[in-house]
A and B are shown apart, each in its own frame.
Chain A
Amino acid sequence: MGTTDKQVGKAGRNKPSLTRDQFMQAYHDMLLIRRFEEKAGQLYGMSLIGGFCHLYIGQEAVVTGVQMCLRDGDKIITSYRDHGQMLAAGMEPRGVMAELTGRATGYSHGKGGSMHMFSREKNFYGGHGIVGAQVSLGIGLAFANKYRGTDEVSVAYFGDGAANQGQVYESFNLAALHKLPCVFVLENNLYGMGTSVERASAWHEFYKNGEPWGIPGRQVDGMDVAAVHEAAAEAVAHCRAGKGPYLLEMMTYRYRGHSMSDPAKYRKREEVENVRKHHDPIEHVKHILLDAGVEETALKAMDTEIKAIVNDAADFAQTSPEPDPSELFTDVVLEA
């Protein structure tokens, strides 16, 4: 693997495209995640968010492109870098931010935090803090789809850091064996915490990792929302048709540290700057929109509107009450 310049922004095999409206929507959705995460970083810095906080900045095109291919009833599950997935799934910025600050109005009433949020309504199944666990759980979501006889699919996101966990391969086998409608989305941001892929894995072509079980795989430019959309559409259609699982390796990059407490000693500032300058997924779409004749003022207005949503979420998250002490003992078990 040498520099990330070669990896990030690696082109997909087709010349994918979206309509202007789709690009506008994608721009909006990615910008919401970016602004939300920037605000979360600020609140963390002000000690308003405690514990772990893993930001999604830089990877926005992945969830945005995949989500555009899903429909109601499709299920999503991911790791602890989960804020982007939640916003993409349609969860309220207020409820997500209030969970980050540990307030009663958060999605988990303040009992889950950044890494553990769920929404039954939006079919978002978390938010899991154990690396790789969400992949086995994810095929369980797909199993449920199949058991119930629906054509719904499940999407299990995981990172390059989880790619060599044993249960991921157990899950590949089970999903292929039972033809489970599961799209595995491997977000390769080149670093598992502070260890680069080349230092962690003897094998780097992760998109081929399902091949022994006959799981089709594709490597995708995860900084290009149109490329993500095109590949995800193929994968989702494959699963929906009952042909079993599909693996997508999204080549992407996170701008911030692994978590807020990351000293960032394992990569050079220039590397990050290079990706930001040349491969930013939001800037990329912005240029497409401007080329297509969209007024810059319209994009600015959208940004202003999104900033207002995020500021409102931050205010809400700071002014909401902490959970009542009695909540300590609720939700441990359900009444039989």
Chain B
Amino acid sequence: MATEILMPALSPTMTEGKLSRWVKKEGDTVSGGDILAEIETDKATMEVEAIEDGVLGRILVPEGTENVAVNTPIAILVAEGEAVPDQAGKAPPATTAPATPAAVQPAPVTNAAAPQAQETFVSHEDKDWGPTQEITVREALRDAMAAELRRDADVFLLGEEVAEYQGAYKISQGLLQEFGEKRVIDMPITEHGFTGMAVGAALTGLKPIVEFMTMNFAMQAIDHIINSAAKTLYMSGGQMGCPIVFRGPNGAASRVGAQHSQCYGSWYAHVPGLKVVAPWSAADAKGLLRAAIRDPNPVVVLENEILYGHKFPCPVDEDFILPIGKAKIERPGKDVTIVAFSIAVGIALEAAQTLAEEGIEAEVINLRSLRPLDTATIVESVRKTGRLVTVEEGWPFAGIGSEVAMQVIEHAFDWLDAPPARVAGEDVPMPFAANLEKLALPQPEHVIKAVRGLI
């Protein structure tokens, strides 16, 4: 039977909009999910999808029409071979039945003021890599570098204490012995200079791994990471890529004070031309670092010192690698989405465990990559749970949580049952005293409290 397609609302407050374009024309056969038309308001452009199969029998509102009220019939969908009823679309919407509101999906837009969403918001299952073995994050990082050093003669490691000392945090243990001093190179304490040197070498096509003893010291070299590494491909019109990895422990360690305890997630994730990953588990560390070394772009790998000694199951498959830009759902749930990265994933999982005992099923997303951000997985999850809590160790202002929340507002606003909530480090330089340091960092209780506040 004939079905009326109604003008959809893009947000709870939308009352009318413009029917900007018909993608299908009268007589076209359509299947559920096909895009029929584009509509726009002053805030957004969206696509109208067919929700069932049929033939577009008649277009009731021509393209270009402004101020089309929500729920006005805009077209008639008929079954194959069926005629369009004469009266269709002429009666007011209130009397037409059954009316089917069209499904909407965000459409790509180029206006910066409008939402941007090319994603179809379908996340993909992780590949199953088979048997695993318990290893530490430290071992995972070393194994990743060793595997890539074996695989590609253009890869080399440089940094302070990476060779003879075997790594300030023992990440590069054994690499000097296997690969020699040509490829595992101790650097003097001169971050600005050796980072520039490594970037220069990468511009010629070599693939350096730059280890910073901690990411705090990379601030000395951030000009080369951003101005020299991230921007040169663009500035050269695509001629000169920079295949380089900047890695090291990021965020708070333990009792090392303000200058050695800072998360640089949002700093680097802000920059077009960079990729940024933040592993939590040993599998994350191994899979993401291997991908970072093979990537033709500059990649910042934000590790965590406290996690170095933690053991996790990691696939033993020699080819194991993870895609950059893909988050992982660490724990499925239906009531709230908790988004975290790096050490905060553990905090989120601990909170989720406690919440489960109260009957609240939290879905925990481990971002793995901060840039590109896996918006699809986040949005798909929030469209299911209707609630969002972000967790990070870094400062809240302009943090990763802010960006995640904004992506959700742009792409899943109508699905939200409560305002997104952030759990982050306190907005202070890291104190030294044990009690104050603990107070400055996010704890599972903060996450639990935030979730309870939404439900």
Contacts and interface: CB of A to CB of B under 8 A. Distances in A.
A120 B272 CA distance: 22
Interface string B161-199: 000000000000000000000100001101011111111
B200 A137 contact: yes
B358 to A, nearest CB: 42
B237 A140 contact: no
Contacts of B182: 147
A141 interface: yes
B188 to A, nearest CB: 7
Interface residues of A, number: 48
A119 interface: yes
Q: Most chain-B Cβ atoms within 10 A of its Cβ — which of A119, A126, A335, A336?
A: A336
Contact of B294 (A127, A135, A136, A336): A336
A171 B193 contact: yes
Nearest to B182: A147
Nearest to A149: B182
Given A136-B197, A332-B234, A120 B240 contact: yes
Interface stretch (B90-98, B131-139, B220-228, B400-408): B220-228
Given A136-B224, A336-B296, A174 B235 contact: no
A136 B192 contact: yes
Contact of A336 (B197, B235, B239, B291): B291
Contact of A140 (B156, B202, B324): B202
Contacts of A130: 223, 227-228
A118 B227 contact: no
Contacts of B190: 170, 173-174
Contacts of A111: 234-235, 237
B69 interface: no
Nearest to B273: A332
A78 interface: no
A166 B240 CA distance: 26
Contacts of A332: 233-234, 272-273
B275 A120 contact: no
Nearest to A170: B193
A171 B182 CA distance: 19
B198 to A, nearest CB: 6
Nearest to A135: B196
A333 B275 CA distance: 9
A167 B296 contact: no
A182 B204 CA distance: 15
A171 B195 CA distance: 10
B297 A333 contact: yes
B81 interface: no
Given A137-B196, A170-B190, A144 B237 contact: no
B156 A112 contact: no
Contacts of A117: 236
B204 A170 contact: no
B453 to A, nearest CB: 38
Q: Most chain-A Cβ atoms within 10 A of its Cβ — which of B205, B237, B238?
A: B237
B232 interface: yes
A115 to B, nearest CB: 9
Given A130-B227, A136-B224, A140-B201, A106 B237 contact: yes
A125 interface: yes
A147 B206 contact: yes
A128 interface: yes
Contacts of B240: 118, 120, 125-126
A54 interface: no
A118 B234 CA distance: 11
Contacts of B199: 136-137, 140
A272 interface: no
B275 A125 contact: no
A38 to B, nearest CB: 26
A75 interface: yes
Contacts of A112: 235-237
Contacts of A110: 237
A133 B228 contact: yes
Given A111-B237, A128-B228, A140 B196 contact: yes
B294 A77 contact: no
Contacts of A19: none
Interface in A104-132: 106-112, 116-120, 125-130
B203 interface: yes
Contacts of B187: 174
A141 B192 CA distance: 16
B295 interface: yes
Contacts of B237: 106-112, 118, 331
A45 to B, nearest CB: 25
B234 A133 contact: no
B115 interface: no
B241 interface: yes
A137 B203 contact: yes
B155 to A, nearest CB: 11
Nearest to B234: A331
Contacts of B194: 136, 170, 174
Q: Most chain-B Cβ atoms within 10 A of its Cβ — which of A140, A334, A336?
A: A140
Interface in B402-417: none
Given A147-B182, A167-B193, A139 B200 contact: yes
Contacts of A170: 190, 192-194, 196
A130 B295 CA distance: 26
B188 A144 contact: no
Contacts of B228: 128, 130, 133, 137
A133 B238 contact: no
B201 A143 contact: yes
B227 A334 contact: no
A120 B239 CA distance: 7
Interface string B300-333: 0000000000000000000000001000000000
Given A108-B235, A119-B239, A174-B190, A334 B197 contact: no
A109 B235 CA distance: 9
B370 to A, nearest CB: 14
Contacts of B294: 336
Interface in A126-184: 126-130, 133, 135-144, 147-148, 166-167, 169-171, 173-174, 177
A3 interface: no
Contact of A141 (B203, B238, B239, B296): B203
A138 B200 contact: yes
Contacts of B193: 136, 139, 167, 169-171, 173-174
21 contacts: A109-B237, A110-B237, A112-B237, A118-B236, A126-B236, A135-B196, A136-B193, A137-B200, A139-B196, A139-B197, A140-B200, A140-B202, A140-B203, A143-B197, A143-B200, A144-B204, A166-B192, A171-B196, A174-B194, A332-B273, A333-B233
Closest 7 CB pairs of A and B: A140-B200, A136-B196, A170-B193, A109-B237, A137-B200, A108-B237, A331-B238
Given A136-B194, A144-B206, A331-B237, 9 more contacts: A109-B237, A111-B234, A136-B200, A140-B196, A141-B200, A141-B201, A141-B203, A330-B238, A331-B234
